[in-house]
Every structure is written in C-alpha cells, then in structure tokens.
Structure 1
Amino acid sequence: MYPALIIIDMQKGIHSPKLGQRNNPEAESNIHSLLLAWRATQAPIVHARHISRFSDSVFWPNQEGVEFQDDFLPLSHEQIFEKNVPDAFAHSGLERWLHVRGIESLIITGVVTNNSVEATARSAGNLGFNCHVVGDGTFTFDKTDYNGILRSADEVHAMSLANLDGEYATIIKTREALNFLTP
C-alpha cells in the first residue's frame, strides 16, 4: 500500500507579507510535483486546512487567506481535515481515517516547518506511523528565539527538521518521496 501524502496548510494566507522572510522558494513546486504524482498513482491524499481561532491570523475564516492555493485545490475524492491548532491529528479524525484504511506510512509536506509540519510529524511518530517529512517540500519564516536573537528562516527550518529526524520522522527530499510510489 502506498503511503498517504499529507499536505499541510497550503492556503493563500501563507503568502501574506506580514509573515516575514521565508526560506525554500522551491517548496511549492516540490509539493505540487508530489501532489501530481500521488494523483497519478491514485495513492491516498490528505489536505489539512487551518481555520484559525484568532481574528488577526492569515487563516481567519471567511476571508481569502483561508482558501486553498489554486495549485493545491483538493479534488472531490481527496480527504480534507480542518484544524484549529498546528497539529493535524488533534481533534480532527485524521488518525482514525488513516487506521480505517490500513495506512501506516505518511509523507508529510506543507507549511510551516517549525509549526504545523513539526507538530503533525511529532504526533504521527508518537502514534506509531512510519513518518517521512519532505524537507525541501516545507518552508518557514524568520523567527526570534527565546534569547531575543533573530534566526533566519533557513536556521529555523534546519533546527525544526533536526528536532524531528530519527525521533519522530525521517527527513527526505522530494525525489526520495517519489520513490515510495514505485511498485
């Protein structure tokens, strides 16, 4: 059985200038190539969509930012899970949906690396899924650390992936993810 492709928060709001400087400008292209490959093999696809509880969020309901980006519009047979917290497993039914279908392996991609991607991958690993995060299929933004030092998006991204690798998930590249579709 093919792993499920989980695409996290590929919504229009992620391009808001208020989020700041980002890394990995190739991420959307990589995610889109994964989506097309999963569709071509009819492998399971899950779209996670963030519906924020905070009115200042780029994902606040009933505004353009909450909508899926055009390249990531789910097809009618693809599963959508809405979430109000970073973790796509929390209160969403995702775990049950995967278990009912006998899906044990996951390929996780999307945004934001150190937020929803990391939270979802941690839960996936803790729940016993064989989890892979596509490092070049995620991106993040500059962030000030706890000591007040501004860290670049590349630094935040690398640390987030390091937090996951070997503990909750295996970090892979897009080309490696595509190999999961080879019979």
Structure 2
Amino acid sequence: MTETAIEIAPDSALIVIDVQKGFDDASFWGPRNNPAAEENIAALMDAWRESGRPVVLVQHASLRTGSVLAPDRPGYALKDFVEERRHDAPLITKTVNSAFYGTPDLAAWLTARGIGQLVVVGIQTNMCVETTARMAGNLGYDVLVPLDATHTFDLAGPAGLSLTADELATATAVNLQGGGFARVVTTAGLLSAAGTAVGA
C-alpha cells in the first residue's frame, strides 16, 4: 500500500481499543487475521509515550450473556502488554462499539486538552475500531488508522453470506478512507512520522 507523508501532531492521541484477553479465545471468536497486530500496537504505545503524546485505553464491558468480555470474566482484563504500558493513561469503559459512548467521556477529555488528531488501533478492525474512527471523523477529528495495528475475525452474515477477517479488514480500509472518515496508514509510517516530529 502506497501512503503519502504523514504529519503527526505533537498532541496526537493514540486510542487503544479493546485489547483484552478475551479476544485470545479462538473457540469463541473463530479465525483471526494479522498476527502482528499486538506487536504493532505495543510499538505505537512505546513511541507515543517516548514522544510525550497522550495514550487513551478503551475497555469493552460486554452486556451479552456468555460473552468472554463480560466484566466478571477473566477475558475482560486488558492484555498484559497493554497493562504494562498503561502508566498514567486514562481508561474509558464502554458497552457499545464506539469509544465516544463510554465513561469517562472521550470527546470531553479530548476537548479539554485541545486535541484534534487521533490514531485509532485495537480490536476488532471492523467493529469497535471502525465505529470509533467513523464517529471521530463525523465529529471533525483528523483520524489515522494503521490497519496493521488492528485485527478481526471471520464473520457470518445474513442468508449464508460470510467474509474472512482479511476481507473484513479490506472493507474497513475502503469504508474509512473511501468514505472520508479517516486516513488508512501503516504502523511503520506512523513510527517514522512520530520519530521525526519529536524535538521538531
């Protein structure tokens, strides 16, 4: 994928969505894509912290019966590599797809700090990542989504239709950039831009 030069604002916020242990349960979710997602998310969290940019964590508290992401299940916990990098990052808890419908209020937190650019990563690509990115675009934020710092799972739809995780990720890329919600970029591109901006 060819990408144009990326400019990362000094206060660009990294929004890390639902990187929770329950998503490791293959028997619950089925086949996933992009095994490099976690490594890329960790690299971005490290780069954001090293450059003094804000990181926001989001955690999904499922209300669905039997969900591995229910607050009383072990899968609700953030994955260890995220928890280890949390430091003083705020944590938003939500029960729906968009991180903008969570507690505390994400938009209010961003507005109070004058933040206008968001980098959205996490799980699942076509669910909470895409929904949050779409809403952020609607709200007027400059949104960047490194698709390789997300992953999702094969999904069945109506009338026997189904898409693989890779097909869903491709659809998300087209929806977000083609629809004008966000720019789809790569982790490498962001790391390079974030490093260049430090001390600039």
Find the partner of 1:7 among 8, 12, 16. 16
Q: Say yes or no: does 1:60 pair with 2:70.
A: yes
Find the partner of 1:146 among 155, 158, 163. 158
Distance (whole Å) between structure 1 residues aligned to residue 186 and residue 102 of structure 2 = 29
Aligned to 1:171: 184
Length-normalised TM-score, structure 1:
0.95
Aligned to 1:101: 113
Kept after mapping to 2: 8 A contact 1:8/1:111:
yes
Kept after mapping to 2: 8 A contact 1:38/1:181:
no
Aligned to 1:79: 90
Does the residue aligned with 1:165 lie in a helix, a strand or coil?
Answer: helix
Find the partner of 2:130 among 91, 104, 118. 118
Kept after mapping to 1: 8 A contact 2:51/2:194:
no
Amino acid in structure 2 at the alignment position of 1:180: A
Length-normalised TM-score, structure 2:
0.87
Q: Following superposition of structure 1 onto structure 2, how do residues 126-137 of structure 1 map, counting pairs within 5 Å?
A: 126-137=138-149
Distance (whole Å) between structure 1 residues aligned to residue 120 and residue 127 of structure 2 = 13
How high is the sequence identity, in percent, across the aligned residues? 39
Q: Say yes or no: does 1:89 pair with 2:88.
A: no
Deviation at 1:181, TM superposition (A): 4.5
Distance (whole Å) between structure 1 residues aligned to residue 97 and residue 65 of structure 2 = 16
Deviation at 1:91, TM superposition (A): 4.1
Amino acid in structure 1 at the alignment position of 2:167: E
Q: Which string of whole-angstrom CA distances, capped at 9 and with x for unpartnered residues, describes residues 124-173 of structure 1?
A: 00000000011100111111233422211110111012111141100000
Deviation at 1:55, TM superposition (A): 2.5
Aligned to 1:19: 29
Distance (whole Å) between structure 1 residues aligned to residue 80 and residue 45 of structure 2 = 13
| Cα pair distance change 1:111/1:104, threshold 3 Å | same
Q: Say yes or no: does 1:70 pair with 2:88.
A: no
Distance (whole Å) between structure 1 residues aligned to residue 56 and residue 195 of structure 2 = 16
Distance (whole Å) between structure 1 residues aligned to residue 69 and residue 185 of structure 2 = 28
| Cα pair distance change 1:149/1:113, threshold 3 Å | same
Kept after mapping to 2: 8 A contact 1:143/1:153:
yes
Deviation at 1:40, TM superposition (A): 1.1
Structure 2 residues not aligned, in runs of 5+: 1-9
Distance (whole Å) between structure 2 residues aligned to residue 181 and residue 147 of structure 1 = 48
Aligned to 1:180: 194
Amino acid in structure 1 at the alignment position of 2:13: A
